[in-house]
Every structure is written in structure tokens, then in C-alpha cells.
Structure 1
């Protein structure tokens, strides 16, 4: 499991850092009449303060991204020492990287916009005051990929939820499977919603040439919709593969989960490759423009994000990263989406932290009330009666078996929750790994392994169950 986590997070981190380098690492270049995402005339590039801003931004970006690339690789080795420490460090690193990235992108943009306004580098003829669409956008001969291509994989995912019956009717030991299923389904639905937004987005006016405008906007929609459909199919196929390999089986080889992780990572490539191809192709098309048609809408981007109440479109292309789509924060729906996303993200982070803290100092609790017994630790519990007990055994150590965690937590010191053993099958573990003997409780429908925080505790529980 540690090896699988190492490679999954390593690939993910490299994707994140290298893609951000590709996306944001060229902001100091003067393209399409813009520098740092701000329209300025070409002669302004000779200004000393502009050159200093570019040099400073480039130096800070290089230090930041290279440093985080090294850190993103090194922190993965914590998987082999302590999973809890790794998760805490990983969350801290991701927060640092996102905040640092935001600052390095937004602050130079705001500074550049401030310079523009101070020097009045504004061409009123090109100033955009209302949304503008190319007049020939409805005559594209190559349409974007249709929404209908999302429907088969969504249908198969929903159908697999019923076929993999434990998703709906299984016990808490299938919590992990449910998380993977609903995450996969949610991501494919999100791709569908983005597809709708891409098709409805306004066209960019790149030049006074209608044919060039048509080709550029057609490429944008086509590359994005190809990427979204491809990513949705790979993402859905990852779950279908996992469901087929694990349905009805007491043991699933860890290699299956590793393959699932690689497939989900491949979904990112399925989205990015067509999009990057479209961006490069679009640049070649626009290179044919002899008289650029510069549309200055910087006032709507002055804070680093788009805010234009007059624009009816919710989703537009990001000014600071052509590979991104941005929300129009002048629309109430955008603020609602970001508010809900922020709350859900904060709740998820708090939930993860609470779970991690539960496993810092685990107290394994065992009690008897009449003929009922209760084992509890770190929020997981198992309750059973004397009639359900088939056999009780005190072992010197855990059986030689391979266990996969299905709903629980594991650290260097503890194994708590629902597991599956290759030989043992479905079971629950409440183990302090340093405690000594292990209490094996065979119930009618599952097995429980308990090792208390102290050796004497485990022996006393064995005596309690043997009476």
C-alpha cells in the first residue's frame, strides 16, 4: 500500500507542478498585445519599471517552482515512515503551493495594471465595454464533440453502482468503494457540466478577419470538448475496471488499486493533451494575423479575476492561463459556486484532520454490558453478543496474511477499522502493533482481531470472553 501511495502521489505532484510551470511560466512574455495578462503598447516594454517587474517575477517564479518540484518529490518518501505525518505534511505543502502560486500570478498582474493606469497606456479605440462575439461563430464547419458522448459512460457508471450491489446494500466495510464510486461519478458529471459551459462560452475576437476568428474559436471548443470526453471515459473506465476486479471477492490484489490509480492519472493526460494541442494550433492560426484586433477589457480583470456584470456568460477563458476556464464573478451564480466550493473544501480538510488526529493517540476500548460486547477505537466500533461468538483464540501475533484496508486507518503503531485478508477474508482490526498478544474473535459472519494498548488488557479481555 505504501508503494502504491508513493507512486500515485508522486505522479500527481509531478503533474501539478510541471503543468503549472507550463501554464504560468511564460507570463513575462509579450503575447497578443499583453504582458502579465494586461494590455499595454509595445513601446512600454522599454520602460525600466516594466523590465524590473518582469525580471523580478521571472526570478521569483523560477525559485518557487523549482523548490516546490524538489519538495513535491521528497515528501512522498514519508509514505514509507509514517502515513499520518505524510498526510499532514502533504496538506501543508499543497496549501503553501496554492497560496504561493496565487500570489506570484495575481500580484505582478495587479502591479502591471497599476503601471498601465498611471501611464495611461490605453487605446480607447480598442477598449471593450460590452461582451463581443464574432459574427460568423454560428457557421463553424467543424463542431465541438457532442454532449451525447458523455452519456454512455455516465450510464455505465450508474449501472455499475447497481451491479456492484455493495455500493447500496453493503455495510461500512464498503465505505472506500462508495467513496471511489461517487468520486468517479461526480468527476464525470463535472466534465459534462464543463462541456456545456465550453459550448456556451462567448467567442473571442482575435482579429478583424472573420475566418481567423472562426478557426481560432472552433479550435478552442473542439480541443476542450475532445479532452473532456476523453478524460470522462478514462475516469469512468478506471472505476469499471476496479468494480469488475473486486466485485464479490474477499481479496483484491493491491496491484488492482495501483492500476486504478494510474488510470485516474491518465484521465488528466486525456484532458490536457488535446487542450495543449489546441492552444499550440491556435497560436499558429493567429500568427497569420497581420493586423491584430486588440480588445482591451483589462478593467474587468484588474483584481486578477474576471468581474463583468454586463457579461451574461458564467464561464470564460482565463486571462492569466489560456489552459484554464474562469468564472465571471460579476454573476451571482459564480459567487454561489465559489462559496459552496470553499465551504466543502474547508469541511473536507477539517474532516481529514480530525481523522488523522484520531490515530495519533488511539485508545482501544473493550467493554461488556450483559451478554453484549463492544470494541471501539478511533471512531470505529464493533458490537456483538455471546450467541454470535463461534470461537475465541489468544494468538502470539497476527496471522501471516496480506490485509487491505477497506474502511479504516493505518499508522506505524495502529491498524483500526475494516480490512480484507487474502486468507482471512472480511475482518475488523483493533490493533496496537506494539502491544504483544492478539485476541482473535470468530463471529458467525466475520472475524475480529484485537490487541489492546497494554498486554494485560488483551489477556483480561480473553478471560472475559472465555467465561
Structure 2
């Protein structure tokens, strides 16, 4: 079927044009067929994560993030391999489609070792690009990719833990300490002796302003100000009531996956204060 599709005349040699056409359409067809299966697996993995806890859930989250990176790298490798094979075909003929700087632009990237510029104007719009043909350009490009992947993994994994890991929200008592933890929030270890009051509240008692952490429709975690007082939140917003723990300098708000889990922690804390 691919061989009977229209062929773009990139050169004056019909056999070269046909091979160029076959390479392009074969690679893209393979990617379009393989991608849905890969995405189906990515959609299935979070379902597995929902039924795991502890180190298994953490490893599942890491695997999920790594698979996204691997999928990106594999796609990029296939496209670069396609371009290399296309160039090998075009090098067999004296005339081909490239004119001016066209031959240095590949997949929206400028690669020209003879050009001393590090930053070059983009071909479309008012933006600028990096000359990956220069050593400094390569360093800048690699550093940008590392930063992007780091931010992506550092953001996506905690978000998926919130949705798909059973113990993403941790509330427990160990010896004489109340331990609260959640993604995007630092772990709090509150001595029971420092607790001034504990209650279950149906909603936040006042204006809630995020200062450092995660704020979304379903979750609030990190440092906030609640009714003018410093507070640390570990909230599954859709599961009230919320556990409100008050100390001298800071308040803490917590809710787990289910109302029953939150109430169980509240009752356990209450049992530590028989009076």
C-alpha cells in the first residue's frame, strides 16, 4: 500500500524519490501503529499503582516516568534514523530540494558547525533557536533537555502518586509523635505534647492562601496560610471532614483517601488525650 501512495518529487531521479517516499511513510506508519499500544500500557500502569503500597508503589511511579522518557527518546531516535537514511539517498544525486540554510534545519533544529552563531532566528515567528552544530549549543541544548525532563518527572510522579497510590497521604502515630506526609509537602513530625487542640472540621475555617506547595481542584498540599495563621496542608479536598491539628505556631490539616481513614486517625489521636 505504501508503494502506491503519491510520491513527492524531491529529486529528478524517480527511484530515489520512491525510496525516499517509502522510508518516510514506513517510519511514520510504524510509529502510528505502535504508539496506541504504548499509550494503552501507560494507561494500564496507573491502575496497577492504585492497588500497591510502599516501595512497590514508588517503583511503579518511577517506572511510569521512565517509560514516558523512553517513549520520547525512542520516537526521537526513529526520526533521526529516518533523516539519516534520507540524507544517504539524497547524497546519491547532484540536485535535491535543499536551498540556502535548508540543509541545516532538521526537525526544527539548526545544526551548522560552520556557523559561529550560538543563537539563530527561528524559521517561523519571532523566536530564536540554538545552533546544535556548535559545542556551546550542544551543551545548552542538553542542559535544557535535562532541565525539562527533570521538571516533568519531578512534577508528574507526585501527581500520579496522589491519584493512584494507596499510601500517598500518610497520617500515623509513632510512639509520641504524629506523622503527616503527602506529595509536594514536607513531612511533619508533631510531638503529641505540642498539640493544643484536635478536631474534625467539615470545611476550611477561613481564607486559604498557598505560599509553597501544590494547589489544585482535588488536592492541597504544602505550606499555606489559613485564616491568617501558618498551616501545612495534606488534603484530599474531595474527602471531608478534615482533621485539624493545632499547635502554638502552626496548624495542620489532613484528610485521607476515605472519610473512614481520616476519622480513624482522629480517634487514635483523641485516645492519646484521655482528659
TM-score by length of structure 1 reads 0.37
Greater RCO (Cα-Cα under 8 Å, separation 6 or more): 1
Partner Cα distance (1:111, 1:404) in 2: 58
Q: 1:327 to 1:440 in 2, by over 3 A?
A: closer
Does 1:461 find its partner at 2:265?
Answer: no
Which has a greater percent of strand? 2
Q: 1:465 to 1:51 in 2, by over 3 A?
A: farther
Does 1:334 find its partner at 2:137?
Answer: yes
Hey, what does 2:12 align to over in structure 1?
43
The C-alpha deviation readout for 1:272-322, integer Å capped at 9, x for no partner, is: xxxxxxxxxxxxxxxxxxxxx944884x6799965444321112356xx75
Whether the 8 Å contact between 2:203 and 2:240 is mirrored in structure 1 is no
- Count matched residues: 240
Whether the 8 Å contact between 2:179 and 2:187 is mirrored in structure 1 is yes
Hey, what does 1:391 align to over in structure 2?
197
Instruction: Find 1:347's aligned residue among 150, 158, 167.
Output: 150
Partner Cα distance (1:466, 1:409) in 2: 36
Q: 1:424 to 1:61 in 2, by over 3 A?
A: farther
The C-alpha deviation readout for 1:13-64, integer Å capped at 9, x for no partner, is: xxxxxxxxxxxxxxx866xxxx4xxxxxx523xx133134225525754785
The C-alpha deviation readout for 1:245-294, integer Å capped at 9, x for no partner, is: xxxxxxxxxxxxxxxxxxxxxxxxxxxxxxxxxxxxxxxxxxxxxxxx94
**Aligned 1:439-458 pairs, distance under 5 A:** 439-444=243-248, 446-450=250-254, 453=261, 456-458=264-266
Q: 1:94 to 1:52 in 2, by over 3 A?
A: same
Whether the 8 Å contact between 2:217 and 2:237 is mirrored in structure 1 is no
> Structure 2: where are the runs of 5+ without partners?
1-6, 44-48, 51-56
Which has a greater percent of helix? 1
Partner Cα distance (2:87, 2:238) in 1: 61
Does 1:364 find its partner at 2:171?
Answer: yes
Partner Cα distance (2:28, 2:189) in 1: 55
Q: 1:306 to 1:401 in 2, by over 3 A?
A: closer
Instruction: Find 1:315's aligned residue among 119, 130, 134.
Output: 119
Whether the 8 Å contact between 2:111 and 2:133 is mirrored in structure 1 is yes
Hey, what does 2:87 align to over in structure 1?
113
